[in-house]
Amino acid sequence: MRYVTVSHLKDGMILGQTLLNQNFGTMLSDGMQLEEHHIRKINDLGYGGVYIRDPRFEDIAPSDIVKTDTRIQLIRSARELQQQAESGYFERSNIRMTKVSQDKLIMPVMEEIIANPKRMLDYVDAKPYEDYVYYHSANVVILSLLVGIEMGLSGTQLYELGLSSMLYDLGNIFVPKAILNKPGKLSPEEFEEIKKHTDLGFEYLRNHFDISIEGCMGALQHHEYYDGSGYPNGLKKDRISIFGRIIAITDVYDALTSRRPFRQPMFPATAMDYININSGTKFDPKVVAALRNVVASYPSGICVEMASGARCIVTENTPGFTDRPKLRLLKGLSRTPLNVDLTQSGIFAEAEISHIIEL
């Protein structure tokens, strides 16, 4: 398979993954031949791109870090929690979400990631902007757990981190929708309203969820910056909780790699460049290093051009070498393909990827 952005999809291409509708049912099935009206639908829902089947690359099979059913359930849960919070369900019922219910949200995802020997995102996630909030919440959970495992957090910490990264933005229910969804630049007064969501979210989690104070800190501190320039309290470095420092990065990374109504998604390499540039200022360098170790800069199925001008497709990534993928030279695919492993020393040790391309 290979990855194709929406603007380069063509009539007759064969879809390489199942795409979901807004009710999380099947909209388009893996193996379906795309027609113009399918492509328009994919674009209208806000997908940034999809994997397609290509007979030249049948052996390239990118896979998600968790099972499809597990990811769908996580997205469903994010939507249900958001809708319950917006409707005032927890306040009206005067109840707290029980640990049993919370376990059903986090444990399946946590267990699958821990059991996966690769523990690396080597896949371009297909997510629509129509339900961005729910897909974003699910992705932040998965990214945060990957980073937490990489940083050596305990099982209890990972559970609390997973829960925190699912709930951290619920304070947004207290922000007027007109401000929250404003496409243009916020006024100073509007930005002050936005900033209230961290304190309000912290109190909301304390009152309605069975979550530790450390878990609540993810809601309070995910906009704190490592250099002290963030909010709500302008904390610096290790004065920011580890959950706050992790979610600050995973929240931004997933937002950058998501398609939004006002911009196209960044590829992982470009998003990681932004994270790296802000290491030590906005972001904790230790958390940046952990994210870099669990996210492939050039996921399998992406086509790239080397600094030498050679054009290749990424066939696989190796844990520990997330910016040095295994490649296949595109020229002369009718003969024995030339495979290149950028993790190896020798003739390709100095080879550099210049940019991502479309075929």
Residue 157: predicted pLDDT: 97
Residue 348: predicted pLDDT: 77
Residue 334: predicted pLDDT: 52
Least-confidence region, from 74-78, 144-148, 195-199, 220-224: 74-78
Residue 102: predicted pLDDT: 73
Average pLDDT score over residue span 128-148? 93
Average pLDDT score over residue span 127-155? 94
Token look-up 């376990």 returns 103
Residue 251: predicted pLDDT: 98
Residue 145's pLDDT band (boundaries 50, 70, 90)?
Answer: very high
Instruction: Choose between 225 and 101: higher pLDDT.
Output: 225
- Residue 238 reports pLDDT greater than 90: yes
Average pLDDT score over residue span 314-339? 86
User: Six-digit token pair at 106?
Assistant: 């986090």
Distance CA 92, CA 205 (A): 15
Cα angle 6, 140, 31; round to 5:
35
| pLDDT tens column, 10-35 | 999 999 999 988 888 889 999 999 99
Give percent of the chain above pLDDT 90: 78
Average pLDDT score over residue span 254-274? 92
Judge whether 87 and 172 are in contact, CB under 8 Å.
Answer: no
* Among the listed residues 356, 252, 264, the one whose alpha carbon sits nearest the alpha carbon of residue 46: 264
Residue 129: predicted pLDDT: 81
| pLDDT tens column, 279-304 | 999 999 999 999 999 999 999 999 99
Output the average pLDDT for the chain: 92
- Residue 114 reports pLDDT greater than 70: yes
